[in-house]
Amino acid sequence: MTDSPQNNWGRWGDDDERGMLNLLSPQKVATAAGLVRSGRVYDLSVPLGKGGRLFPMFHDTWRITTAVPKADGAMVSGDVLMLHTHAGTHIDGLSHFWKDNQLWNGHDAAAVNSRVGASWAGIDKMDGIVSRGVLADIAGFRGVDHLTLDDAISESEIEACLEAQGVSVGEGDVLLVRTGWHGVFETDRATWQKGEPGVAPSVAAWLSENGVVAIGADSVAVEHIPQHPYPNPFHVSALRDYGVYIIENVDLEALAADRAYEFMFVAAPLPIVGGTGSPIKPLAIV
């Protein structure tokens, strides 16, 4: 890997709140649409509800359904939902992490507070993502069901995996990394809650260097966490320094089983004003 700049601050102007999304263009969308051949749609989301996939320090999802009678005897129902915006399958906004009192693009971290949320680089400043998606099946590449708590994934291993699959990443792409950790949630919840395998901190600069807009994985944090609690250097670097978005708790099992390594990727956040993240329902279309 060549030397990368320390960050992307100022790359798209001092007032930029969108980061790597600036690399998406109508041409990129059209190219991604051209990848669709069969029309098969893969739902990459996980169920969102009580007891679902959630970072250990966050509050569980809560829901209650209401029913109201109408004058003609009919009934109408609705739901009241209380959830952490980083529950289930979700995307992190660029305001999700900061360090040394600085957010993405060097902005003052005081822009994030409990009263207004994120007045800078909030999830409401983010458009949806429609682009080329690429799967790096690291578990398949290693020939294992899943990686372990000891496993950090380097950029060189990602490159080797992609080469073996016959694909590569380029400007505007979304990279999805399969560790096999998705299945551990069902088979060994105690281990799943201890930490997770994932990408090494140095991968953030590599993503920026290759123009990758967002990275997702089949785990709750994408990055390697040998044991909770643990620092999140990859989150700080990707979100704060380079403006690369992070998508967590992505179900990649069907894609991997079908060896669908290249596809059209579609996902959009809820327009939560001041939100630091949002649930999403990502789709891969081949």
N-terminal to C-terminal alpha carbon distance within the chain: 31
Per-residue pLDDT of the chain (286 residues; tens, 9 = 90+): 445 679 999 999 999 999 999 999 999 999 999 999 999 999 999 999 999 888 888 889 999 999 999 999 999 999 999 999 999 999 999 999 999 999 999 999 999 998 889 999 999 999 999 999 999 999 999 999 999 999 999 999 999 999 999 999 999 999 999 999 999 999 999 999 999 999 999 999 999 999 999 999 999 999 999 998 889 999 999 999 999 999 999 999 999 999 999 999 999 999 999 999 999 999 999 9
- Provide CB contacts within 8 A for 278, sequence distance 6+: 85, 90, 91, 93, 123, 269, 270, 272
Q: Which two tokens stand for residue 261?
A: 């390594």
pLDDT value, residue 177: 98
Q: Give the length of the chain.
A: 286
State the Cα–Cα distance between residues 251 and 152, nearest whole angstrom.
Answer: 20
State the Cα–Cα distance between residues 12 and 34, nearest whole angstrom.
Answer: 28
Strand partners, 259: none
Q: Are 131 and 28 in contact (CB under 8 A)?
A: yes
pLDDT value, residue 55: 84
Q: Are 173 and 134 in contact (CB under 8 A)?
A: yes
Q: Where are the domains of the chain?
A: 19-46+85-285
State the Cα–Cα distance between residues 238 and 204, nearest whole angstrom.
Answer: 5
State the Cα–Cα distance between residues 85 and 278, nearest whole angstrom.
Answer: 5
pLDDT value, residue 229: 86
- Considering the segment(s) 19-46+85-285 as one domain, its CATH architecture is 3-Layer(bba) Sandwich (3.50)
